């Protein structure tokens, strides 16, 4: 098992979070943004990046909204950075899909971009971004 100390010496970036769904996966980050104007109901055109999630990707999102569920099924892992509850929709859906999820890690927004290679390890409760 890779530890935080092991990663520190590689020059990679590590973000600590909380376990949402057990497991470990490595893939290309697909950052999903929700741009919903205040007071409006969520529509598909408020989402950007969700249509690009492919098999092998790690979906990085603030929350998993109902409109997104069928669109992220191909992801190999989730990072739900604004979710603080293991019973939230994101980690619950990840468990149903049997993929790993790390939650409650808002600092990831300034570290990971779409296309970055990352590892999600919910057992160790971190996300690793390779340099």
3-state secondary structure of 36: coil
Q: 54 lies in which domain range? A: 4-129
**pTM of the predicted model, to two decimals?**
0.86
- Structurally, the chain folds into a number of domains equal to 1
Could you read off the pLDDT of 44-102 as tens digits, one per residue?
788 889 889 999 999 999 988 888 888 899 999 999 999 999 999 999 999 999 999 99
CATH of the domain at 66: 3.50.30.10
Q: Which residue has the tokens 């376990």?
A: 19
If you ran DSSP here, which 8-state letter would residue 33 be given?
A: E
């Amino acid at each position: 098992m890779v530890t935080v100390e092991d990663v520190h010496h590689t020059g990679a970036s590590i973000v600590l979070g909380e376990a949402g769904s057990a497991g470990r996966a490595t893939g290309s980050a697909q950052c999903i943004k929700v741009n919903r104007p205040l007071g409006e109901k969520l529509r598909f055109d408020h989402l950007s990046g969700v249509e690009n999630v492919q098999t092998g990707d790690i979906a990085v999102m603030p929350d998993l909204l109902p409109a997104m569920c069928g669109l992220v099924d191909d992801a190999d892992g989730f990072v739900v950075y604004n979710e603080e509850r293991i019973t939230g929709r994101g980690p619950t859906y990840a468990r149903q899909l049997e993929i790993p999820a790390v939650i409650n890690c808002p600092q990831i927004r300034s570290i990971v971009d779409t296309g970055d290679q990352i590892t999600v390890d919910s057992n160790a409760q971190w996300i690793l971004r390779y340099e």
